[in-house]
Every structure is written in structure tokens, then in C-alpha cells.
Amino acid sequence: MKSKVLISLLVVLLLFSFSTISAQAQQEAAAKKPLIGYITNGPYEFWTYSAAAIPTMEEELGVDVELFLPPNGLPEEQKRFIESLVARGAAGIGISVVDPDNVTEFFNEVIASGIPMVMFDSDAPASNRLAYVGMSNYAAGRMAGELVKEVLPDGGEWMISVGRLDAQNAIERRQGMIDELNGEPYSTTYPGKMTPNTPNLKLGGGKWTLLETRTDGGDQSKTKAIAEDAILKYPEMDLIVGMWSYSSPAVISAVRDAGLLGKMKIIGFDMETELLQAVQDGYAYAALGQDPFTYAVKTIETLAKVIKGEDPKVPADGLIDVPALKITGENIDEVWGKYKEQLATGNRYIEATK
């Protein structure tokens, strides 16, 4: 009789233990914050500004955000990061796409599995992504074309330095410049057709000549050598446009070594320290600044709303617009002050998460 009572008590205790463990597991699962991956297109200083926004967004939205910086800026690296995030049960992914043509199918498979994706800075427009956060790269290219006309009002010879021409941001920025110099009707939307990368493109009826668009494959160690070679090959060249964030510092260094600072014109995209310093010193004509801090804010905010079942209120065209800023000697001090604060915060975050 006593043994039956003991057995009954043990059964009750076991059932109580299991129910307690189950309840604890449910509480832990409920308490676990959704994981959002934020994947950049490389390890560039440009993304330090995005890093500055992450701690605040995590706290405000109740999510965990993990920053990924592909060491070589390759699409294979981005794919591995995504696969890792999927395996870990990520709730959403934001990404600056390196090679949209060759990754769109893979992205759509990830999205079909129930993980929403938002593109920022460089889009994959043919994918089923939720939204694209950033400036219109084509509109920014048109703005850069206006700057080319300002700095070379009587025409001249120029070249572009960029990492890759299969990234959507590079395609659109370059085409925007070409269309602006050719006097095409203004639009903020990429027309969908890229002018082939052939040498000595005559633009504006022959007034401006785009000597070359040189690429380094995303390898920063090659960028300066490419600029140095171009300077030697085209001694009459008037202007170099650095089209990715790391392009302009390498161009500036090459121009400096050639003794041409202040003589050869420089226009750059983004906000690398060397470029902003050159604008302040008068060695670069202008920078086209983006707002990667806001890219992170809008990307994480949009994904968090979807994860929580809220309406992210994405515009019908899918573009969450963060316009480019024309940075010249007139506004450099004000703009750079804000950027320096973001850089300091972003560097602290990156160091703390290593």
C-alpha cells in the first residue's frame, strides 16, 4: 500500500516538474528577442555610421541586431551570413546587395521561408524584398553629373573608379552621371538600361569624355594602383570620380603622390574621413554624402514592425527614400560635426561586439 502511495506521489511530482520546465521554456522563448541580421557590402568605414544606430534601435524596438561586415565584399560571403542567420532562426534580414542578378533567386527562397528581407544602399529590385531603404542611386548619379558640369563647365576628360559594376548602386550612379551630361530628361528613377563600359565615351555631344570606368573587384588594396595607372595613362585627365566609399581616399592618395592635389579635380561618393578632409582643404570639389545611420534606423524599424505584425507603411514603389546630401566647402563644417559623433559611437559598438 505504501509503495502505491509513493509511486503516485512520484508521478505527481514528475508531472509538476515537467509542467514547470515547460512553462519556463515558454517564458524563455517569449522573452527571447527577435534576431535581425544587418549585412553590409564590405568592411568599410562607411558602415560604422550604421553601427552607431544599432544600440538605440535594439533598446527602442526590443530586438537583437547582429552586424555583418563581409571581409572581402563578396556575394559568397553575404550568402554564408544569410545561411547562418536562417539556421539560427533569424526573424528578419537587411542587406546591401553586392551582386543582385546572381543572388535574387536565393533571396526569394529565403523570403519564401518566412524571413522578410529589406535591402539598403544597394538594391535587388527583381527580388521579393519588402522594401529598399536608401537614396535613389540614379538621382544621386544625376546630382554627381551636375557637379561634373560645375567643375568642368567647358568640358574635359574624366574617369570613374568603383569596386564593381554589377552592384545596383554602381550601375545607377554611373548611369545617372552619363544621362545628366547627355542632357536626358530628369528622373529620379533608373531607366533600366546601362551604357556599356567602353572607353572614351563622348558625352554632351563630345563636350565631356568619360575615359574609363575602372573597377577593382571590391579589393581596396588595388584601388590606389588603378588610379596611379590612370593618371600616368591620361596625363591630360581633368577629373576622377570615386564612386564607392573607399574609392575616393585611394584616389586622393594617388593624386597627392603625383603632385596634382589642387590641380586634378576630385568628386567622391560617401563620407570617408579622407574625402571630407579633402573637401574642407579644397583638394576635392565635393562629396555626395549618404546617411547610413538612417539606413540602419529605417531598415531595422521596418523589419521590427513586420516581425511584430504591424504595418511597416512601405510606399507603393517600395522605396523608403533617404536623399543624398551635396557636401561642399560651404557646408562641410556643419555636416562633418554630425558625422564625427556617429563615427565615434559606431566604433565603440564595433569594438564592443568583436
Q: 33-134+292-323+334-352: which CATH architecture?
A: 3-Layer(aba) Sandwich (3.40)
3-state SS class at 130: coil
DSSP 188: S
Contact 69, 96 (CB under 8 A): no
Q: What is the pLDDT of residue 271?
A: 86
Domain boundary assignment for the chain: 33-134+292-323+334-352, 137-289
Q: What is the pLDDT of residue 10?
A: 43
| Residue linked to cell 592618395 | 253
Q: Which strand ranges, in their side-by-side order, compose the sheet holding 35-39?
A: 64-68, 35-39, 92-95, 117-120, 131-134, 319-321
| Residue linked to cell 593618371 | 231
Cell triple for residue 207?
563636350
pLDDT digits (tens, 9 = 90+) for 199-257: 999 999 999 999 999 999 988 889 999 999 999 999 999 999 999 999 999 999 999 99
Q: What is the pLDDT of residue 14?
A: 40
Distance separating alpha carbons of residues 137 and 277, to the nearest angstrom: 24
Q: What's the whole-model pTM score?
A: 0.74
Q: Using DSSP bridges, classify how beta strands 208-215 and 92-95 pair: parallel, antiparallel or unpaired.
A: unpaired
Q: Which of 351, 323, 349, 327 is nearest to 337 (CA)?
A: 327
Cell triple for residue 342?
556617429
Contact 63, 57 (CB under 8 A): yes
Q: What is the pLDDT of residue 31?
A: 54
pLDDT digits (tens, 9 = 90+) for 225-241: 999 999 999 999 999 99
| Residue linked to cell 507603411 | 313
User: How many alpha carbons lie under 13 Å from residue 138 in its C-beta half-sphere?
Assistant: 16
Mean pLDDT by groups of 10 residues along the chain of 354 residues: 47 43 41 91 93 98 98 95 97 95 95 97 94 93 97 98 92 97 94 94 98 93 96 97 95 97 95 94 95 97 97 94 92 92 96 92
| Residue linked to cell 571590391 | 218
**Is there a common fold for 33-134+292-323+334-352 and 137-289?**
yes
By the 10 Å C-beta count (0-12 exposed, 13-18 middle, 19+ buried), 280 is classed as: middle
- 137-289: CATH, from 1.10.10.350, 3.40.50.140, 3.40.50.2300, 3.10.20.740: 3.40.50.2300
Going from the C-alpha of 274 to that of each of 71, 248, 250, 252, the distances in angstroms are: 21, 8, 9, 8
Q: What is the pLDDT of residue 112?
A: 97
DSSP 243: -
